[in-house]
Structure 1
């Protein structure tokens, strides 16, 4: 091969090698995220497997727990011939496995006293009766309340109240439970530190309307001396926000502080929209709360209402730092001392504090304000005492001046009388 041919072959090989190298580079670049893609595929496979497992379990539970001739939850909803009223938040639970999971989470046993809010067509009520519970059901819809009364007419295990739960006096209805718990707990704790009355508290199991979730929690969570377990159907997003224990998230709210102050919340399981009739537009979940007895609540230097108003003030403007929100409550000197007491810097925001830190902050600010008021009171007392002393001195001076004038006048009269006597003595009768 001559030199010209050899050079041409070399040039051809060089030009063909360059695109190949580029192709190899492109393939290598395409292969870089392969592991990430595989992880996503594996996660998707696990998710599908979990869905299949839940579907299988749901079918098994439905077939095992529904006796021959007994209506399924869906058949019970259909038989009610009731058009769901969305303005009342009516989404009837038709998945039997979810119902059983709710009872299992609340550990419902024979003789338990249960409060059910919004029983609807009675799908949950039926299973509670099977478990041997004594149910107090509160239903706002007159049509559904009447049907439940008819269904359980003569059954002492179920009492149906047609009422708006937020206007219903739950404390009065369960006052005998509260009294029994208090009487048993008066004996004191056993060697394990367990109070005997706590086991006799009632429970709450309910598929509640999502639009009154917060109001229901505000009513029931402080009743830790009456209720011991609460299991609710919640909107997934709201539940995650309320039960999160880690502060610092953007969705951390004053209600999260309230929930953890009164109870120990926990997540049970997700519930898809297909488990309801009609299906809601949001994802749902079962969530539980274990209310704390009053003796276990964190100690406050003030009332609970004052504490939660204080927490609300701290969250007044979430984009601002905590110290700026606290200026509506106390002065800069107290704020600086409080942040130092908590071990927090001045850039701390409201959502970064835990419930325990809010309790400590509230107590510190209250004690600082109390000390300040005491100092002001002492200063006022000293000042008033000083004013009183001044007035006493002025009064004494006036008395002394008046006394001096009287003495002077009296002395003057005596002098005049003496002069008159002298004049008399100096007269020589002729």
Structure 2
């Protein structure tokens, strides 16, 4: 069964009386080239444990299971599970768990995260894994292109999202994926984003920086002396009082939190 083939996918969905749920951000990937690039960029080894979020009917799962030792899939939509089981019947190393991925506790043993994610939970998913006590060896997400570009913004053009990712890892866009690569096609284009964990500061310090940064960014483009008046003296000492939050480097944020 080739579920990157539109006709075969529709046939499977109709068999189980299924269709995509917009409120869950479901868009099934039907581009074989993009599927291959996702798997290749994850650099999966035969000993790897892969966590997949939102596997749907298991199109990506099957390719992951061909390479990894174990694939654990987290699916919130219980109605998709029978179709998933049929598609993965020959792959005993893949299992599906009915749960909200945002309630998942990352394992204590090594793992990688690979997924065509629901775009509406991008930020909390990244927080869940990058800020975990045991972060993954890598994260490979098929996600909204515009958000992937924001995540990769270099200093000194940070957003809260780019800062929260780059404090914990190094993001890189592997390739772009057009809307017609999905069924149904989303209203936005997509990109394959690969993140290699690389903490820039100790874990507790990173969380402290994020807490301060979120305060600063909530007031838009105002100067830090206006958004963070309680540390105005420190801002002036570091010559940062007249700067705006997006212009600070990770090193600047670290100094502010020392």
- Under a length normalisation based on structure 1, what TM-score does the superposition of the two structures give? 0.55
Q: Distance in 2 between matches of 1:266 and 1:232?
A: 11
Q: Secondary structure of the residue that 1:204 maps to in structure 2?
A: strand
Q: Distance in 1 between matches of 2:255 and 2:233?
A: 17
Unpaired segments ≥5 residues, structure 1: 1-69, 178-200, 364-430
Aligned pair partner of 2:2 in 68, 71, 75? 71
Instruction: Indicate whether 1:356 and 2:247 are aligned.
Output: no
Residue of structure 2 in register with 1:334 after alignment: 234
Find runs of 4+ consecutive structure 1 residues off by over 6 angstroms: none
Instruction: Indicate whether 1:270 and 2:176 are aligned.
Output: yes
User: Which moves more between the two structures, 316-325 or 110-119?
Assistant: 316-325
Q: Distance in 2 between matches of 1:333 and 1:101?
A: 50
Residue of structure 2 in register with 1:211 after alignment: 120
Residue of structure 2 in register with 1:134 after alignment: 70
**Is the alpha carbon distance of 1:77 and 1:355 closer, same or farther for their aligned partners in structure 2, counting shifts above 3 Å?**
farther
Q: Distance in 1 between matches of 2:170 and 2:19?
A: 37
After TM superposition, list the pairs within 5 Å mapping 1:399-414 onto structure 2: none
In terms of fraction of residues, the more helix-rich structure is 1
In terms of fraction of residues, the more strand-rich structure is 2
After TM superposition, list the pairs within 5 Å mapping 1:19-418 onto structure 2: 70-74=1-5, 75-81=7-13, 82-152=18-88, 155-167=91-103, 169-171=104-106, 174-175=107-108, 177=109, 201-223=110-132, 225-248=134-157, 252-292=158-198, 296-299=199-202, 303-327=205-229, 329-330=230-231, 332-339=232-239, 344=240, 346-363=241-258
Q: Distance in 2 between matches of 1:202 and 1:350?
A: 34
Q: Distance in 2 between matches of 1:231 and 1:143?
A: 26
Q: Distance in 2 between matches of 1:226 and 1:310?
A: 22
Q: Distance in 1 between matches of 2:151 and 2:37?
A: 21
Q: Secondary structure of the residue that 2:81 maps to in structure 1?
A: helix
Q: Secondary structure of the residue that 1:170 maps to in structure 2?
A: coil
Write the deviation string for residues 59-118 of structure 1: whole angstroms up to 9, x where unpaired. Answer: xxxxxxxxxxx4241244223222111111000000001010001111112231111101
**Is the alpha carbon distance of 1:226 and 1:316 closer, same or farther for their aligned partners in structure 2, counting shifts above 3 Å?**
closer
Q: Distance in 2 between matches of 1:244 and 1:274?
A: 26
Q: Shift in Å at residue 286 of structure 1?
A: 0.5
CA contact (8 A) 2:141 2:192 kept: yes
Q: Shift in Å at residue 145 of structure 1?
A: 1.9
Question: For the pair shown, which has the larger CA radius of gyration, 1 or 2?
Answer: 1
**Is the alpha carbon distance of 1:286 and 1:159 closer, same or farther for their aligned partners in structure 2, counting shifts above 3 Å?**
same
CA RMSD of aligned residues (A): 2.0
Q: Distance in 1 between matches of 2:29 and 2:40?
A: 16
Unpaired segments ≥5 residues, structure 2: none
**Is the alpha carbon distance of 1:253 and 1:210 closer, same or farther for their aligned partners in structure 2, counting shifts above 3 Å?**
same
Q: For this pair of structures, how many residues does the alignment match?
A: 253
**Is the alpha carbon distance of 1:304 and 1:132 closer, same or farther for their aligned partners in structure 2, counting shifts above 3 Å?**
closer
Q: Shift in Å at residue 316 of structure 1?
A: 2.8
